[in-house]
Structure 1
Amino acid sequence: MYEWDFIPVLTETGFLLAGFRNTLVLTATALSGGLVVGLVLAFARLSSRRWVRFPADVIIEVFRTTPPLVQLFWFFFGLPIVLAVEMTPFLAAALTFTIQSGAFFAEIFRAGIVSIEHGQWEAAKAIGMRYNQAMRRIILPQAVKRMFPSMMERSIELMKTTTLVATVSYADLLFQANELAQKTFRPLEVFTVVALIYFVTISIFSFLASRFERRLTRSGEFSL
């Protein structure tokens, strides 16, 4: 019978929390960058100019259809060879997950924008609004409310996907857990604690997102 012993793990809580902090930093970096990249790619894909639309199509399809682990390896091992630049684990991971999440966010943004009725555009044009004014004041505020659930789901998936950075020796929570498991010879206990950390964190994030979504729905307002 296996005897569970969490004492060796709990005494190294600081070691795991250091990795968890790195996970949060990477997730926040990729999420904020991904939203910006996604918005730019969405506008590019909606452009009537083919020379603007085609590169966005390629980036979106490549990063949505290839495994994130392959992308991470390519940025970490391949990019330094191609461009002769120094690549740290954090930089490679940040670039990978920023562009990858941006590709998914681009489709969410695009779907939200095109879901707005054409009459909204016509009304904005009738009162003399330019394209960017109509987009900022009328279209995007309505689209964001429709996109919010998908964006939250994608953000949660992003946090779980960042566990792949352990393969390039970035000291995230999973990397620290591997080190601690080898040190304590208690892998079941270590990864049970890691699972609980992710469960609690994502549950809190989901709860706050749900409350914000309900508040947004009740108020009917969202300003940019």
Structure 2
Amino acid sequence: MTYQWDFSPILARWPMLLDGLFNTVKIAVIAIILGVMVGLVLALLRLSPRRYLRLPSSVFVEFYRNTPPIVHFFWFFYALPVVLNISLDPLIAAVLALSTQSGAFYAEVFRGGIQSIERGQWEGAKALGMSHAQLMRRIILPQAATRMFAPFVERSFELVKTTALASTLAYGELLYRAMMVNSETFRPLEVYTTVALLYLVLLVSCSGLARLAEARLTAYR
């Protein structure tokens, strides 16, 4: 028996899926912004000559790089409230999980970009009397930004896809809304095909914007 595709029940519930897509974008943008801040701090700490700064940041990065993302979601949503005797909204728990995890990966992107700058430029800036902060701000980071762009974008795309795990916390992102639609329509093939296409359109659009930004960054350099 040939399966009869029918997308009409999904189209009738299109606003629900669009709301989920909006929530996916919202949580991704917040997590990327926070993750970049966390990652930059971790990268600078890992590059510090002081061991007491390098060691904790290295442990943080290795922990997140070598543990499943879903464990982080569950820990922030179920365990942290017990430890601190507080109640966390699913959105906040998901953002904490995503931003700390992505921060660990961004840290490696930033560290690699910074270390790729030739040592002669470091030494030349120091010879001119620049402080470490001036050296990073004026010489190293502007050059490293171009080299870090591609892996940064790739990591950000991975973060967008990882937002689907927020559905395990009953946060209303795209996958969670899709499961609600599926429970009403009993059309899993159509529902999850639509979800895949929405993710595809979102990430392909972001990829196009990223290429434009990279071209401008390269031209500016």
- TM-score interval, normalised by the smaller of the two chains: over 0.9
SS of structure 1 residue aligned to 2:177 = helix
1:69 partnered with 2:70:
yes
| Distance in structure 2 (CA, Å) of the matches to 1:39 and 1:219 | 22
Corresponding letter in the other structure for 1:106: A
- In the TM superposition, residue 194 of structure 1 has moved relative to its aligned partner by 0.9
- In the TM superposition, residue 218 of structure 1 has moved relative to its aligned partner by 2.9
Who is 2:150 aligned against? 149
- Partner deviation per Cα, 1:124-162 (whole Å, 9 max, x = no partner): 122222111110011001111000000000000000001
| Distance in structure 1 (CA, Å) of the matches to 2:129 and 2:57 | 30
So what's the TM-score if we normalise by structure 2? 0.97
Who is 2:176 aligned against? 175
| Distance in structure 2 (CA, Å) of the matches to 1:83 and 1:216 | 44
- In the TM superposition, residue 214 of structure 1 has moved relative to its aligned partner by 2.1
- In the TM superposition, residue 39 of structure 1 has moved relative to its aligned partner by 0.2
Who is 1:127 aligned against? 128
Corresponding letter in the other structure for 1:71: H
1:215 partnered with 2:216:
yes
Range moving further from structure 2, 71-80 or 172-181: 71-80
SS of structure 2 residue aligned to 1:122 = helix
SS of structure 2 residue aligned to 1:198 = helix
Who is 2:164 aligned against? 163
Who is 2:185 aligned against? 184
| Distance in structure 1 (CA, Å) of the matches to 2:124 and 2:22 | 47
- Partner deviation per Cα, 1:44-89 (whole Å, 9 max, x = no partner): 1111111111110111011110000011111111111111111111
Who is 1:88 aligned against? 89
Q: Give the number of aligned pairs.
A: 220
| Distance in structure 1 (CA, Å) of the matches to 2:147 and 2:173 | 33
Corresponding letter in the other structure for 2:4: E
Who is 1:41 aligned against? 42
Structure 2: gaps spanning 5 or more residues: none
| Distance in structure 1 (CA, Å) of the matches to 2:133 and 2:124 | 14
Who is 1:137 aligned against? 138
Range moving further from structure 2, 185-194 or 26-35: 185-194
| Distance in structure 1 (CA, Å) of the matches to 2:119 and 2:98 | 34
Structure 1: gaps spanning 5 or more residues: none
Range moving further from structure 2, 94-103 or 124-133: 124-133
| Distance in structure 1 (CA, Å) of the matches to 2:197 and 2:150 | 24
Between the aligned residues of both structures, percent identity stands at: 52
Range moving further from structure 2, 74-83 or 155-164: 74-83
Who is 2:28 aligned against? 27
SS of structure 1 residue aligned to 2:86 = coil
Corresponding letter in the other structure for 1:166: S
Who is 2:60 aligned against? 59
SS of structure 2 residue aligned to 1:134 = helix
Q: Structure 1 runs of 4+ off > 4 angstroms?
A: none
| Distance in structure 1 (CA, Å) of the matches to 2:176 and 2:120 | 52
| Distance in structure 1 (CA, Å) of the matches to 2:108 and 2:45 | 11
| Distance in structure 1 (CA, Å) of the matches to 2:220 and 2:166 | 40
